Structure 1
């Protein structure tokens, strides 16, 4: 959907043209941090983000280090595995077809083969009682626009610019504007999606994760280089949840 530009942007300032509108193009959650996620048609948005999003993590069993594929080559194979919510719990897969629980011995062995290390999958500590803490607890929702993706695609015509590289929770179909990344102007604003209200809080800083091979996407170091040059490393924004509720694909997005 995001590959098809919408009507030309209104040249007036946001204050002059009033509320700005788009729609939800895609919804994603990533039950296991750093693994490929699952695309949804409806998502329950809670105070801490989309239900089931980034609730488990991957560690190297030998060292106890949490997987950080964008910063350590040791973990570069983790995004090749898949995770989803099934029957109320987390299920993982090496190929997106055969699934098992994260503690299944045969699945852990299969994951070891593609990861290059023996993984330990563990749930994050939701209450901060000294257990394993998520890296993204400061950022309940990650939002990105199709306008930003189209802009990057125009600048890198030989690259595969795909939503999955950037791992947003919500991809908003938005018309092109003068600014290549219009959502950066949504920081501090309320973003209403049906009965859900978000507030933009900060830009999403990028690392090498967006360049590595993942979920049938090739290695491409030029993508991070261009994001750094064009946007100072930021691409998309983080949002807090002001009013929880449900979001569906196709829902109208209104930015105050």
Structure 2
């Protein structure tokens, strides 16, 4: 018999329509195998070279709020970087490691107290799902386990190397929403 426990609730949801740019908050989002619908569907490329421009080489990108209009977003990024860029549609999701990145308020609190991986930004963990965990939980203990949030089922695959929280793959697509229980 499988035991299911309520590990917490979804506190906030974000997508990052353009990889490396700022987030867009959502009240609900559909999780597909590639990740949250609308997440990292565009990437920034240098107009002269065609090479992808990454946030780690251009930290100012995270401050640019996407508008949902690729041409306007490309102009805004060009202004920030001082060179011409364009947006390229990603094949599937442009997420580097996993379909979904989850982080808890408790992880952010631990990071504020000094428990933060090297190279990680505790101020902006760039997660898709912010959780409020029950009983002082720690999502790092979930690796190898299955979560159910809303209509979706997730397999927690690993902890990030340079970030807070955990990464998960979508086993069963479905919609999740702020306030949904996180069943472990």
Q: Equivalent residue for 1:28?
A: 14
Q: Equivalent residue for 1:213?
A: none
Measured in 2, the distance between the counterparts of 1:242 and 1:109 equals 37
- Relative to 1, partners in 2 of residues 1:108 and 1:134: Cα closer, same or farther, differing over 3 Å? closer
Q: Equivalent residue for 2:98?
A: 139
1:18, distance to aligned residue in structure 2 (A): 6.5
1:115, distance to aligned residue in structure 2 (A): 1.8
**What are the superposed Cα offsets for residues 53-95 of structure 1, whole Å, 9 maximum, x if unpaired?**
001000111222212222x2xx2222221125xxxxxx1xxxx
**What are the superposed Cα offsets for residues 169-190 of structure 1, whole Å, 9 maximum, x if unpaired?**
111101424xxxx211111101
TM-score by length of 2: 0.86
2:40 to 38, 48, 54: 54
Q: Equivalent residue for 2:61?
A: 78
Higher helix share: 1
RMSD across aligned C-alpha pairs, in angstroms? 2.4
Q: Equivalent residue for 2:82?
A: 116
1:167, distance to aligned residue in structure 2 (A): 0.9
1:25, distance to aligned residue in structure 2 (A): 0.5
> Secondary structure of 2:55's match?
coil
1:63 to 49, 61, 65: 49
Q: Equivalent residue for 1:176?
A: 136
> Secondary structure of 1:191's match?
strand
> Secondary structure of 2:38's match?
coil
**What are the superposed Cα offsets for residues 5-42 of structure 1, whole Å, 9 maximum, x if unpaired?**
xxxxxxxxxxxx97242000110000100000101101
Measured in 1, the distance between the counterparts of 2:172 and 2:76 equals 41
| The structure with more radius of gyration | 1
Q: Equivalent residue for 2:174?
A: 245
TM-score by length of 1: 0.63
- Relative to 1, partners in 2 of residues 1:124 and 1:108: Cα closer, same or farther, differing over 3 Å? closer
Q: Equivalent residue for 2:29?
A: 43
Measured in 1, the distance between the counterparts of 2:89 and 2:43 equals 6
Q: 115-124 vs 30-39, which deviates more?
A: 115-124
Q: Equivalent residue for 1:5?
A: none
> Secondary structure of 1:33's match?
coil
Q: How many residues end up aligned between the 2 structures?
A: 177
1:111, distance to aligned residue in structure 2 (A): 2.9
> Secondary structure of 1:103's match?
helix
1:201 aligns with 2:157: yes
Measured in 1, the distance between the counterparts of 2:70 and 2:151 equals 34
> Secondary structure of 1:188's match?
coil
